[in-house]
Structure 1
Amino acid sequence: MTILLILPGLLFLLAGAESLVRGASGIARRFHVSELVIGLTIVAFGTSSPELIVNVVSALEGRTALAAGNILGSNIFNLFLILGLAALIHPLQVHENTVRKELPFALLAGLMILTASLDLSDGITFSSIGRSEGIFLLGFFVIFLYYSYETAHVEPALLSPSELERYTTKQGDNSDLAARGASEATSSDTEPQSPLGISILLSALGLIGLALGGAWIVEGAVALARTFQLSEGLIGLTIVAAGTSLPELATSAVAAYRGKSDLAVGNVVGSNIFNGFFILGITACISDIPMGRPQLEDASVNAGGHLMILLLLLLGKKWRLNRLHGILLLILFFTYLGYLVIRG
């Protein structure tokens, strides 16, 4: 009977994603906060809540291999499958701040996990991520939150037209950021605004739907996997990781369909930063996470994926992920998935 939870879980996820995108966009317009910042913080935290719940429970029960697989698998799922599908739905115009600041944050998290997986004091041996590394990761998460706060209070795109005019006068006519802000602020003012209470209610209902849907899908998928006698490690890296990442998939797919590239990309990048710094940091503070050869391979794919997407954007034109990039990401994801099945 547990397997039957998968279908209603999917329905809750899709409804929750649509509600969250509408509510978050309404809040962004009401407070002149860009959808990029909303995607990097509120939406990213909400859609990462399944990973947080799964990892905390896993750590408390001593199932740290499942916790590590969940985070690494979720990040890889986000990078390759979700961004790939979102780019296929609608080419993604990526914010310059995402390319120059947020993506490097996510890459740094991936490199820190990779480094923590190795013990270089006596040759190259496998290590574990313990409490000291967890505190270090949480420290970088605080830095990221401070950056997001400063972005929300400084970026001209977040200002009202009158405030923007004063900012542009201070910055001069050559400010690219001011020019972009003028365009975004003007377009934001022309869009109809929902009452704040409705936007908050939609966001809250969306988060509830995502949490319930994610929990039901994971529970049903794990029951299905155990019926076919799959290993717990493979469950963590694939079914659990995919299940806990379905909120990100639903949210980014809906955002891409609605042409909200900032929200689609910001949700994925923000979720990966939350996963790498906050959730893995919390997990390591609860219980040490052993890192063997399989975890090292997955951590390498995680870090390499962030680096590849960063290079695609830096070497491409106009900070865009087009449909060809989306196809490439999907091919790489299914290649990796096939390798996981072979590896067992």
Structure 2
Amino acid sequence: MSPALSLLVGLPLLLAGGHYLASGAGALALRLRIPQFTVGLTIVAMGTSAPELAVSLLAAMGGSSDIAMGNVVGSNLANLLLILGAVGIMRPLTLTASIRWREIPFMLLSVLVLAALVNDSYLSGTGPDILGRGEGLALLGFFAIYMYYVVTVARSSGMQADEGVPVLSLPVSLIMSVGGLIALIAGGKLTVSGASGVALAMGASEALVGLTIVAIGTSLPELVTSLAAARQGNADLAVGNVVGSNIFNIFWILGVSSCVSPVSFNTQLNADLGVLFVGTMLFFLFTYTGKRHTVDRFEAFLFIAIYAGYVGYLAVRG
């Protein structure tokens, strides 16, 4: 199978696998009498990040660290600039105090923590620049703190978190869970091998392919969810989906991936982390410019323009 065909087959398998695994596992958890509230905030929430997890984990295990790291950083950039930009153009985003003062700062923290953990040569003068098992455990520690915060806030506010958790029979739940996992693994392997092959055929770096083609492809669940929420006038859900996914991607996905197999860091990706940091800061500042607490259509268009400029920069950088 050609690399391009591997990507074309692998990405849909990833997306379908993530959906069915989350649905089946969520229904199975309910059958085991795990509270719907907990299922909604954990298993189903992680479902939209399952494609990124499969790609980064398999890439790390296969020695393709640039794809593993590029997929996460690129997905976060696509979520923030491309998806929120598209959603904001469709409908201005009015943000709650919780998102402005808790979730967005936590997202910013995730970028800073990642940059600090992978830049040993710059910060301490020693190398190599790598996300090892110790750093992976630190990321998972931050993830546990974030999940504790999410559950605590949701419980105290009376939030319902059982939306999207299907009620299915035990055999159907098992079939969906196992089938989704198989599709996720198969799609991940095809996507990683296809991305590596495309990079080689194009004379491009694996990091470039991970930051663009793979990143945008694995961000499709977030795009669909956020656009649907925006159409229904639910700005909190649209923004919360993106912000939560970005935090999951760094703390959960890179944490798990580096614990299984250390992920080396290409210092060229510092420029991409810089764009992610600036984009996150702009997101926070935009809620205090123009109409307060709102990202308006002009600011959303700026996100799209920044992303377009960033992709152009990647094309030149190669």
Q: Could you tell me the TM-score, scaled by structure 1's length?
A: 0.71
Query: Which residues in structure 2 correspond to 1:223-238 (within 5 Å)?
Result: 227-238=201-212
Distance, in Å, in 2 between the alignment partners of 1:137 and 1:195 is 27
The residue type equivalent to 2:285 in the other structure is: L
Q: Distance in 1 between matches of 2:124 and 2:202?
A: 41
Identify the match of residue 197 of structure 1 among 142, 149, 167.
167
Cα gap change, 1:256 to 1:13, in 2 (>3 Å): farther
RMSD over aligned Cα atoms: 4.0
Q: Which residue of 2 aligns with 1:105?
A: 106
Q: For the residues of structure 2 that align with 1:60 and 1:32, how far apart are their CA atoms? A: 34
- How far the C-alpha of 1:155 sits from its partner, in A, is 0.8
Check the 8 A contact 2:107/2:246 in 1, yes or no: yes
Distance 1:257 1:13 in 2: 25
Secondary structure of 1:197's counterpart equals coil
Secondary structure of the corresponding residue to residue 167 of structure 2: helix
- 1:207-253: per-residue Cα shift (whole Å, max 9, x none)? 96x96998688877776665544332211111111111122112212
CA distance, structure 2, for counterparts of residue 219 and residue 330 of structure 1: 30
Cα-to-partner distance string for 1:67-103 (whole Å, 9 max, x where unaligned):
1111111111111001000111111222221111111
Is this contact kept in 2: 1:128–1:289, CA < 8 A?
Answer: yes
**Cα distance between partner residues in 2 of 1:10 and 1:132:** 31
Contact kept? 1:13, 1:214, Cα under 8 Å = yes
CA offset at residue 290 of structure 1? 2.4
Task: State the secondary structure of the residue aligned to 1:62.
Answer: coil
Aligned partner of residue 63 in structure 2, secondary structure: coil
- The code of the aligned residue for 1:103 comes to I
Match status 1:300 vs 2:270? no
In the TM superposition, 1:1-344 aligns within 5 A as: 3=4, 44-119=45-120, 122-123=124-125, 127-156=129-158, 197=167, 227-344=201-318
| Structure 1 position 302, deviation (Å) | 1.7
How far off its partner does 1:316 sit?
Answer: 4.9
Q: In the alignment, residue 207 of structure 2 is paired with which amino acid? A: G
Percent identity between matched residues is 41
Count, aligned residues: 299
In structure 2, C-alpha distance between the alignment counterparts of 1:116 and 1:335, rounded to whole Å: 27
- 1:95-116 deviations in Å (ceiling 9; x for gaps): 2211111111111000011112
CA contact (8 A) 2:226 2:241 kept: yes
Moved more, 61-70 or 246-255: 246-255
CA deviation string 1:286-334 (max 9, x = no partner): 2332223312111222222212211212445342121111100000001
Distance 1:268 1:214 in 2: 23
Structure 2 distance, partners of 1:7, 1:304, is: 32
Unpaired runs of at least 5, structure 2? 21-25
Deviation at 1:122, TM superposition (A): 4.5
Deviations 1:12-38 (A, max 9, x none): 99999999xxxx9xx9xxx997xxx96
Q: Distance in 2 between matches of 1:285 and 1:98?
A: 30
Listed as ranges, the gaps of 5+ residues in structure 1 are 160-192
Q: 1:257-314 CA deviation, whole Å, 9 max, x = no partner?
A: 2222122111100100001111111122123322233121112222222122112124
* Higher radius of gyration, 1 or 2: 1
* Partner of residue 172, structure 1: none
After superposition, the Cα gap between the structure-2 partners of 1:328 and 1:196, relative to the gap in structure 1 and judged at 3 Å, is same
**Is the CA contact (8 Å cut-off) linking 2:91 and 2:297 kept in structure 1?**
yes
Distance 1:123 1:72 in 2: 24
Give the TM-score normalised by structure 2.
Answer: 0.77
Which range moved further: 83-92 or 299-308? 299-308
Counterpart CA distance in 2 for 1:239 and 1:262 is 28
- After superposition, the Cα gap between the structure-2 partners of 1:100 and 1:236, relative to the gap in structure 1 and judged at 3 Å, is same
Superposed displacement of residue 145, structure 1: 0.7
Name the CA shift for 1:213/1:105 in 2 (closer, same or farther; >3 Å): farther
Pair 1:224–1:61, CA change in 2 (3 A) = closer
**What is the identity, as a one-letter code, of the residue corresponding to 2:250?**
G
C-alpha separation in 2, matches of 1:57 and 1:14: 16
